[in-house]
A = this chain, B = another copy of it.
Amino acid sequence: MSTYSYSFAGTDTGNRHFFYRVIGYLLLSLSGAQLLTTIVSFSLADKAFWSFLLSACITAVAGSMLVMRSGGVVQLKKRYLFLLTTLCWLTICVFSALPLYLSIPGLSITDAWFETVSAITTTGSTVLSGLDIMPKGVLFWRALLQWIGGIGIIVMAIAILPALKIGGMKLFKTESSDISEKILPRSSSLSAYILLVYLSISVAAALSYAIGGMSWFDAITHAMTSAATGGFANYDASFGNFNDKPWLLWLASLWMTMAALPFVLFVGMAKGDKWALLRDPQVKAFLTVVLAVTLMLTLYQIQHHDRPWQDALTHTLFNVVSVITTCGYASEDYSAWGSMAIVLFFYLTFSGGCSGSTSGGLKIFRTQLAGYLLLKQLNLLIHPNAIWTQKYGSKKVDDALLGAVLAFAFVYFATIAILALVLSMFNLDFVTALTGAATAVSNVGPGLGDIIGPAGNFASLPDGAKWSLTLGMLLGRLEILTMLLLFTPMYWRY
C-alpha cells in the first residue's frame, strides 16, 4: 500500500484536475496560516496585520478558484509528481512573499522573494536587518513559513521521494522498512506518526525555551525554526542574543539534533523498539561526526584562544550542530575561530544531517555509501573476482543504489559549482560565491567571509545573485533531480 491515496494512471484531464485540487487546497491551507498570522499580529498591536489579512484573502480566492475548477476525477500519472512537487513549492513561495512585500516598507520584490524562499526552503539566509525592532507579525510569519517548509520536507521525504527513487532515497522507502513492517502496517498512519514527531519536537522546544527564559513569543518562533532546522532568529545577533543564558544554547543544540535525526526512528522507539536510534548506521555516523568536530574545535579554542572550557564547548557544540543540521543559527562569528574552523565549517555546510529529517545538504548516508563504494573498489583491486556484499542497516547495498547515490552526489556538487560560477559573474568574491552557493543548495543559511558569513547579511548582494541563490535553495530542497528533470526533453516526450 502506498502512502499517497491517488492512483497512478489517468487521462490528461484527470492529471490537470489533480494539479488544481492539490495546489488549490495547499493555497487554502496557506491562507489559514496567513489568517493565523493576522490574529497574532493584531493581538500584539502590530500595524502590519492588515497586510496578512489582505494576503489571506488573495490566497483564499486563488485557492478556491483552483479547487472549484478541479472537478471530480482525481488521477495522476506518476511522472507528473515531479512537476506537481515543483509547482507546489513555487506557488507556496509566491503567495507567501505577498505579506512580506506588503508589510515591510521599501522592501523590493527581489528581497521579498529571497526572504520567502529562504524561509520556506528552511535555508534561513536573511536580507532583513533591524530584526530586533521588526513588527512581531513579520517575525512570526518568517518562523511559521520555516515550520510549514519543514512539514513540506517531511511529506516529500516520506511520501514522494522514495516513490520517485531519487538519489538513493529508496533506501528509506518506509513500506518495506523494518519498523513499518513489524509495528506499523499501514504507511498512511506512519506519516501521521511522523508529523506527530515533528509537532512534539516543536512543542517540547517551545516549552523548554520558555522555561529557559525566553519570552513566549521568542520561545514559540525559535521552536518553529529549530524543529524545521530553518535557522531564522528574531535578532540581528541571531541566537547570540541569548548568549547570557548559555543553557538555551544547549537546549537548542538538543532540538536541532533531534530535528536532524530520522523521524521514523522516534516512531519506532515510541512503539517499543528502544534501541532503534542507536542501532541506525546513519545516526551513529552523524553523532560521531558531531562529537569529533566539536571535540577538535573545542580543544583548538581552549589552546589557541584561551577560552574557559565551558564557554568553548557551549559555543562550539552549538555552532557545529547548527551548521551540520543545516539549521544555521549562529551564537557568534565562528569564522573568527581560525583557519581550521573555517575549513571544517565549510565541510559541515555540505554534510547535512540524516535522511528522513528536516535537515538539508548531501545527507550523511550518501557520504557513507560513497565510502562503501570506495571500499568495494579497493577490495576489487586486490581480489578482482571477489563478491563484495555490504549492508546498510538491514538493507543490502547494491550497484543500483550506489549508482543513484553517486549520481546524486555528482549533480549536487555540479549544481553548487555552476551556481558559484554564476554568482562570480555578479562580481561576488571567490569565498562568497563558493560558500554562498554551498549554503543555498544545502539550505544551511550562513556562508563564509565578511559579506555572508555568520556575522553578515545577504542584503548587499546584487539582485541577480539573490535570484540565483533562491533557485539554488529550491533546487537543494527538491533534491535537485525533481526540478532538474523538468528541464530535460525526455521528461516532456510522449
Contact = CB atoms under 8 A, between A and B. Distances in A.
Contact of A399 (B399, B420, B434, B488): B399
A125 to B, nearest CB: 20
A344 B166 CA distance: 30
- Pick the most buried of A79, A402, A448: most chain B CB atoms within 10 A of its CB: A402
Nearest to A406: B406
Nearest to A342: B430
B381 A164 contact: yes
Interface string A366-389: 000011011011111110100000
A269 interface: no
A311 B143 CA distance: 54
Contacts of A166: 381
A433 B343 contact: yes
B431 A165 contact: no
Given A165-B381, A381-B165, A433-B343, A399 B410 contact: no
Given A378-B484, A381-B165, A403-B373, A340 B410 contact: no
Nearest to A338: B427
Nearest to A372: B407
B434 A343 contact: yes
A402 B409 CA distance: 14
B406 A399 contact: no
B346 A430 contact: yes
A340 B428 CA distance: 8
A377 B429 contact: no
A247 interface: no
Nearest to A490: B382
B448 A430 contact: yes
Nearest to A168: B377
Contacts of A481: 377-378, 381
B79 A382 contact: yes
B407 A374 contact: yes
A411 interface: yes
Contacts of A382: 79, 485, 490-491
Nearest to A437: B343
Contact of A343 (B373, B376, B403, B420): B420
Given A343-B421, A410-B370, A417-B347, A404 B377 contact: yes
A488 B403 CA distance: 25
B343 A411 contact: no
Ranked nearest first, the 9 interchain pairs of A and B with the lowest CB-CB distance are: A377-B407, A343-B424, A406-B406, A339-B424, A340-B424, A370-B410, A373-B407, A399-B399, A342-B430
27 contacts: A79-B382, A82-B381, A165-B380, A165-B381, A166-B381, A338-B427, A339-B424, A343-B430, A343-B434, A346-B430, A346-B434, A371-B410, A373-B403, A374-B407, A374-B410, A376-B403, A377-B403, A377-B404, A377-B408, A378-B481, A378-B490, A379-B490, A380-B404, A399-B399, A399-B403, A402-B406, A413-B413
Given A339-B430, A370-B406, 18 more contacts: A79-B382, A339-B428, A340-B424, A371-B410, A373-B410, A377-B404, A377-B407, A377-B481, A378-B481, A378-B490, A379-B490, A381-B481, A382-B490, A403-B403, A406-B410, A409-B410, A413-B413, A431-B431
